[in-house]
């Protein structure tokens, strides 16, 4: 059963119909090329079409016809005698196949018997299958000729409309790409500029704590610790933005190798376990085969796992559980990070990997982060030939699955 047309399809169809509804058939782009080397056929056809308001150009030879066709035409009219040899058929086929992607100029060939075409015409039909090349029986009345060519030019008008839409799309895409590059460059520059003063804040805080500037009271040490924590938090946010801009600009390099799964688990556990314990959560690490390995960049795999586990810690209530496990699935290794946290509403699942998106703004505003962790993780996963997906339900928890080549 065919799928119903989408809203975009309806809109595109309406646009095409609107643009091609009232074409000017006398305009140069709608000229009809006529090649009929039989008596006065070409002249009579030109007269009949001219009286109906069509612009026509009569060609005296096939090479002249094909040259004019390449310059641009609304439709073409030929008779069987114009295609009596394999050479003439080849010239026409070459001209037809050299058209732009959007173009399929209608070609009407009037023949003695369309059901039993001559060998050259049969070759033309075979080589041009799928194109707007029609074999029509003759004789034909002036009224029928005008009707056929009007229908052909209406088809051509829709092609021109599609060409214009494609040009608008390419222009809009180029503008969007330029704006995206400017955004990435801005974020990258700002990130670098912010790192310098933040590192200086951290350095001077350590110097004061060491007593180099004089004795430090307990109250001052408490304040300095808060300053250092804030500095690390801001530096982490800046680093996230910088990492994201590198992914967006395609400047991230991957050092792909065989990474033992046990080592990846151990490094991620060491970084996240203190956070889980501080919040009263149980972190359960699954057992893996000693020889199990995954094709990945070790640092980026660890970054993804830490991002997923840190997210789980943020959104799981105290006394909850977080599970890290993996299993082999065909030629892939599937890592899963499952929690018993607040979960994600179904209508927000599609946006969970979008950059700068806070899926639960009522909760995440109290948590640290830029909303880039999951966006970065998925792009890193895809950069290593894998993918990252999620299944979740409010009040039940979330399960993130990272699939990478084994």
pLDDT tens by residue, 298-313: 999 999 999 999 999 9
d(CA 387, CA 405) in angstroms, rounded, equals 10
pLDDT of 365: 43
Dihedral angle of Cα 132, 138, 143, 147, to the nearest 10 degrees: -10
Least confident of 35-44, 75-84, 145-154, 370-379: 370-379
d(CA 67, CA 222) in angstroms, rounded, equals 84
Q: Phi-psi category of 403—alpha, beta or left, where left has phi over 0 and alpha has psi -120 to 50?
A: beta
Q: Model pTM?
A: 0.54
pLDDT of 357: 66
pLDDT of 12 > 70? The answer is no
* Residue pLDDT, tens place only, 321-357: 999 999 998 899 999 999 999 998 888 888 888 876 6
pLDDT of 358: 63
What CATH number was assigned to the domain covering residues 257-405?
3.30.565.10
d(CA 402, CA 326) in angstroms, rounded, equals 9
Closest to 312 measured CA to CA, from 356, 282, 350: 282
Taking a C-beta distance cutoff of 8 angstroms, is the pair 70, 113 a contact? no
The reply to whether 257-405 shares the fold of 7-170 is no
pLDDT of 256: 93
Closest to 340 measured CA to CA, from 361, 358, 320: 320
Contacts of 201 (CB under 8 A, 6+ apart): 227, 231
d(CA 271, CA 305) in angstroms, rounded, equals 10
DSSP 8-state symbol, 294: E
Percent of the chain with pLDDT over 70: 90
d(CA 364, CA 151) in angstroms, rounded, equals 60
d(CA 234, CA 153) in angstroms, rounded, equals 63
CB atoms within 10 A of CB 229: 11
Tokens representing residue 130 in the block: 């799928």
Place of tokens 């390419």: 170
Least confident of 134-143, 239-248, 280-289: 239-248
pLDDT of 386: 93
How does strand 293-296 pair with strand 332-339?
unpaired
pLDDT of 16: 44
Tokens representing residue 184 in the block: 């990435």
What's the number of CA atoms in the CB half-sphere (13 Å) around residue 250? 2
Least confident of 7-21, 57-71, 221-235: 7-21
CA distances from 214 to 176, 202, 204, 228, 376 (A): 55, 18, 13, 19, 44
364 falls in which pLDDT band (50, 70, 90)?
very low
Sequence spans of domains, the chain: 7-170, 179-248, 257-405
CB atoms within 10 A of CB 97: 10
pLDDT of 186: 79
Least confident of 4-8, 103-107, 167-171, 391-395: 4-8
* Residue pLDDT, tens place only, 182-221: 877 777 777 778 888 888 898 888 889 888 888 989 899 8
pLDDT of 279 > 60? The answer is yes
CATH number assigned to the domain with residue range 7-170, chosen from the 4 options 3.40.1350.10, 3.40.50.150, 3.40.50.360, 3.40.50.2300: 3.40.50.2300
Q: Which of 182-186, 231-235, 313-317, 355-359 has the highest mean pLDDT?
A: 313-317
pLDDT of 2 > 70? The answer is no
- For residues 255 and 246, the model is more confident at 255
- For residues 382 and 29, the model is more confident at 382
Mean pLDDT of the residues in the chain: 86
pLDDT of 238: 80
pLDDT of 391 > 80? The answer is yes
pLDDT of 350: 80
């Amino acid at each position: 059963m065919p799928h119903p047309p989408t809203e975009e399809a309806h809109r595109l169809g309406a646009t095409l119909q609107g643009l091609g509804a009232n074409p000017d058939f006398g305009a140069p782009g709608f000229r009809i090329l006529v090649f009929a080397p039989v008596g006065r056929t070409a002249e009579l056809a030109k007269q009949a079409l001219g009286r109906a308001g069509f612009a026509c150009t009569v060609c005296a030879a096939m090479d002249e016809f094909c040259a004019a066709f390449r310059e641009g035409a609304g439709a073409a009219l030929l008779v069987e005698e114009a295609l009596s040899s394999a050479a003439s058929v080849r010239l026409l086929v070459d001209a037809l196949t050299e058209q732009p992607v959007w173009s399929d100029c209608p070609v009407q060939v009037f023949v003695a018997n369309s059901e039993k075409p001559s060998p050259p015409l049969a070759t033309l039909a075979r080589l041009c299958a799928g194109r707007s090349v029609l074999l029509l029986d003759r004789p034909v009345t002036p009224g029928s000729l005008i009707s056929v060519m009007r229908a052909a030019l209406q088809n051509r008008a829709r092609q021109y409309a599609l060409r214009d839409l494609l040009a608008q799309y390419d222009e809009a895409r180029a503008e969007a790409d330029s704006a995206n590059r400017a955004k990435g460059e801005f974020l990258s520059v700002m990130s670098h500029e912010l790192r310098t003063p933040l590192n200086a804040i951290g350095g001077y805080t350590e110097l004061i704590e060491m007593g180099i500037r004089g004795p430090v009271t307990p109250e001052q040490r408490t304040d300095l610790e808060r300053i250092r924590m804030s500095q690390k938090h801001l530096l982490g946010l800046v680093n996230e933005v910088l990492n994201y801009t590198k992914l967006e600009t395609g400047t991230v390099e991957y050092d792909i190798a065989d990474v033992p799964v046990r080592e990846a688990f151990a490094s991620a556990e060491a970084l996240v376990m203190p956070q889980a314990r501080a919040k009263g959560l149980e972190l359960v690490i699954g057992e893996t085969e000693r020889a199990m390995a995954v094709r990945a960049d070790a640092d980026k795999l660890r970054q993804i796992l830490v991002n997923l586990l840190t997210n789980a810690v943020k959104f799981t209530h105290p006394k909850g559980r977080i599970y890290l496990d993996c299993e082999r699935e065909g030629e892939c290794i599937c890592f899963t990070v499952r929690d018993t946290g607040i979960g994600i509403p179904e209508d927000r699942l599609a946006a969970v990997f979008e950059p700068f998106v806070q899926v639960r703004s009522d909760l995440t505003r109290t948590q640290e982060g830029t909303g880039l962790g999951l966006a970065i993780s998925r792009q890193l996963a895809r950069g290593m030939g894998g993918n990252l997906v999620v299944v979740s339900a409010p009040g039940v928890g979330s399960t993130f699955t990272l699939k990478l080549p084994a």
